[in-house]
A = this chain, B = another copy of it.
Amino acid sequence: MTCHLERRIPGTLCRVSEPNTRSPAVAGEPDGDGGLESVALTPPTRVTRSRATLADVARLAGVSAKTVSRVFSGNAYVADQTRDRVMAAANRLRFRPNDLARSLRHGGVANTVGFVMGDITNQFYFQVAAGMERELAKHGITMILAATEDDPGSEERVVETLLNQRVRALVIVPIAADQSYLEGERQLGTPVICVDRPARNLVADAIVLRNRSGTADAVRALVTNGHRRIGFICSPGGLYTHEQRLAGYRDALREAGVTDSRRWERLKDVDGRPDEESARELMALPDPPTAIVAGNNHASAGVIRALGERRSEIAFIGFDDFELADALGISVIAYDTLEMGRRAALRLLERLDDPTGPPQHIEVDTHVIARGSGEIPPAS
């Protein structure tokens, strides 16, 4: 214990933490291992002592290493008495099986899966990660996280890091122009699953949203409500999703016989607040749109800002649901992000069982949630 150290803390930001229960304060504890089962044997002097190994436990328990191994591997034939003796020794030594060594022995593949996302602060990716993690945890697989920060050039390097850790599979949000560099890995038995956008030049499963027809659904709903002049605003980020959604918008307007839809498309790709500006542009037209569709949540924010007090006049539907959209009565094209991650995980588990099956292109469903803003009729 380093309790005696806790009193000589210098600085400004640092204070001793104070536990809320049991012992009045950690700093006040006696310098043994208070609260623990007091195994002793652990001299407080040596902070860095090497961990106990199988052999150590075996020695203490008076058995062979293999027997200890059997106890910790679970399903082996070990006499109850022996098992107890081994467990006692293991607890005394704080033994923990080393998964690194175990994995090495098992063909050098770890029990992990790598997830490569783009901009790590984008909550969409994290929801996907969450869905994945939940499913993988059920199967005792842990998830390693890495981010490309949406830099195409870093994808291969990031992936490499994960491969060197011998992940059993890779789930990636493709950002590089080409994923063919992964073909060799796939052949070597590391499945690749793409999320949000498909891979290019690589045979891989893909889990994407129903972008195109999902957007078309929303536009159709507006058309049904009497709208003809419908704006579309999107800041292109992920090219694939963006293209698909734009295509869906056009599909629906074409169906409706609207031929000049291009006039109401605004697809800026500059920084700053292009979406807000785009929305203002549209609203300033001599014949402004009576409804606006946003292609992603970033664009939604811009449009909502631009609409301001005119929120009750112009219909609006945005792709991607968001916190409080419910409370604010904003209609959206929504989907289950967790489900996306779950599907990725499930596909991945299937792949591990059968690496040779054909690649699947899975679309996660989307649906329009009517909350008011999307049901406003055209002004005229």
Q: Which residues of A contact B (CB under 8 A)?
A: 1-3, 5-6, 8-9, 13-23, 26, 33-36, 39, 42, 44, 47-51, 94, 96-101, 103-104, 107-108, 110, 112, 120-121, 123, 126-127, 129-130, 133-134, 137, 140, 142-147, 149, 160-166, 177-178, 180-181, 183-185, 187-189, 194, 198-204, 206, 239-240, 243, 297, 301, 304-305, 322-324, 326-328, 338, 355-363
Contact of B203 with A6 in the complex, beta carbons under 8 Å: yes
Bound state CA distance, A194 and B17, in angstroms?
11
**In-complex Cβ contact of A121 among B145, B165, B338 (8 A):** B338
Contact of B98 with A166 in the complex, beta carbons under 8 Å: yes
20 A-B pairs with C-beta separation under 8 A: A2-B359, A6-B203, A9-B358, A16-B361, A17-B206, A19-B198, A19-B202, A21-B200, A47-B187, A51-B188, A98-B164, A112-B165, A123-B123, A123-B127, A126-B130, A142-B144, A143-B146, A297-B323, A304-B328, A322-B324
Q: Which of A162, A178, A200, A328 is packed against the most chain B CB atoms within 10 Å?
A: A200
Contact of B2 with A358 in the complex, beta carbons under 8 Å: yes
**In-complex Cβ contact of A133 among B21, B145, B239, B358 (8 A):** B145
Contact of A204 with B20 in the complex, beta carbons under 8 Å: no
**In-complex Cβ contact of A360 among B14, B200, B202 (8 A):** B14
Closest 9 CB pairs of A and B: A126-B126, A35-B180, A19-B200, A17-B198, A14-B360, A120-B130, A5-B358, A15-B361, A99-B164
Query: Contacts A2-B203, A146-B142: A324 and B301 contacting too (C-beta < 8 A)?
Result: yes
Bound state CA distance, A96 and B164, in angstroms?
6
Residues of B within 8 A of A359 (CB): 2, 6, 16-17
Residues of B within 8 A of A203 (CB): 1-3, 6, 26
Contact of A48 with B100 in the complex, beta carbons under 8 Å: no
Bound state CA distance, A23 and B183, in angstroms?
15
Measured CB to CB, the nearest residue on chain B to A201 is B35
Contact of A178 with B35 in the complex, beta carbons under 8 Å: yes
Contact of B108 with A199 in the complex, beta carbons under 8 Å: no
**In-complex Cβ contact of A130 among B51, B121, B161, B323 (8 A):** B121
Q: Which of A164, A166, A177, A184 is packed against the most chain B CB atoms within 10 Å?
A: A164
Query: Contacts A164-B98, A165-B99: A177 and B144 contacting too (C-beta < 8 A)?
Result: no
Bound state CA distance, A81 and B323, in angstroms?
59
Contact of A327 with B305 in the complex, beta carbons under 8 Å: yes
Residues of B within 8 A of A1 (CB): 183, 187, 203
Contact of A163 with B35 in the complex, beta carbons under 8 Å: no
A82 to chain B, nearest CB (A): 22
Residues of B within 8 A of A188 (CB): 48-49, 51, 94
Residues of B within 8 A of A127 (CB): 121, 123
Residues of B within 8 A of A362 (CB): 13-14
**In-complex Cβ contact of A144 among B112, B180, B184, B243 (8 A):** B112
